[in-house]
Amino acid sequence: MNDIGAFLLWCVFPYLALGSFIFGTIIRFTWFRGGITAKSSELLEKKQLMIGSILFHVGIIFVFFGHVVGVLIPKAFTDWLGIPNEVYHIGALVMGGLAGFMALAGMLLLTHRRFANKRVFSASSFSDLVVNLSLLIIIILGLTASLVEGPLHPEFNYRLNLSVWARQLFYFRPDFHLMLQVPIVFRIHVICGLLIFAFFPYTRLIHALTLPWQYIFRRPIVYRRKPSIRGDQNR
């Protein structure tokens, strides 16, 4: 890949994906809020949905926060804490692997359910099918990058290039040369993640942003016992 292509891919495309995410989210919540729904197909099939959904959501939450920690915490900080690089990587590999396989198991169940169950398949939109396959692919790529590609390149340390590049995006000075040092599976995984991020607001995934946060921050509701009829009569 020449420098121009690398610059467009690693210095321009991430911001285009972010712009698409922000623009699409504003449009959906402003003019198409009524269409934001998980569109549950529980009535069509329940068992696989329940098991797959729990596995996927629990796994993907841990995967997400694992990615956040891996990107935001620089190597210098863990070195300052006295955490050896080998210990950090083993911990990340074990915990990330468990969370990744949990998300993969859930996504396999949900994908099999959507494609193999005729009733669920007929009720699915083209977007639903694409989202299912896209999430499955990106999870497989992530596990492959961590468990296969990483050991094949023992000299590679994502905290010295990939994580640095990701942090540089926050202050608008990404260095595409850093991503050219990253093994190919990791790069494909990042590109797929950016694509899902870009199309997030235009799919059913948007329902993840509709969590009822107001229930967490609202003032407590005080319930008062209703006076008994006998008590009313004695007054």
180: DSSP letter:
T
67 annotated as belonging to a binding site for a ligand:
yes
SS3 content of the chain, % helix, strand, coil (to 5): 75, 0, 25
- Estimate to the nearest angstrom the gap between the alpha carbon of 35 and the chain centroid: 21
Residue 185, token pair as written in the block:
């599976």
Residue 70's alpha-carbon distances to 18, 112, 146, 173, 184, in angstroms, are 20, 31, 13, 19, 19
**Contact yes or no for 174/11 (Cβ under 8 A):** yes
32: DSSP letter:
-
Residue 40, by phi and psi: left (phi above 0), alpha (psi -120 to 50) or beta?
A: beta
The dihedral formed by the CA atoms of 165, 166, 170 and 172, expressed in degrees to the nearest 10: 40
207 annotated as belonging to a binding site for a ligand:
yes
153 annotated as belonging to a binding site for a ligand:
no
Residue 28, token pair as written in the block:
């959906």
Annotated binding site for heme b: 57, 67, 189, 207
Annotated binding site: 57, 67, 189, 207
